[in-house]
Structure 1
Amino acid sequence: MYRIHAPNREYDGQVAGVDFHAGDSAPVESVPDYFRRHPYEVEELHEEADGEKTQRRTRRKPA
């Protein structure tokens, strides 16, 4: 699972089929290529053995 962070941390709306609120998406199963080609931050969410998710920032595009 992934969470995507918009460059505009106040953005509410939809981009490439992903909904954003306050600059963050809800968890998504896959990341559309659009976000890898533009200055969005993609965060990979990992699930621990007890079922809780941990967060790890995996990629940051320069502004």
Structure 2
Amino acid sequence: MINYKQYRDHDRAHFAKVLIFSILTLGVYAWWLRYRQTEDMLDLQAKMVALLSEAMSRSMARQ
């Protein structure tokens, strides 16, 4: 015979584990997205600086 109280407690413990795991997974995913976004932004910034410096050197060479 199944003891209902044990079953309920086990169910609650499982739910708590799943909830904690989900929150941790979402936190790691959000951190990774933010990290990737900052990496992309730095890459974009470096490209913009390179383009600007190239344009400046070309305009200086023309003069």
Q: Under a length normalisation based on structure 1, what TM-score does the superposition of the two structures give?
A: 0.16
Report the structure, 1 or 2, having the larger helix content: 2
Give the TM-score, by structure 2 length: 0.16
Higher CA-based Rg: 2
More strand by share: 1
Q: Which structure's relative contact order is higher, taking Cα pairs within 8 Å and 6+ residues apart?
A: 1
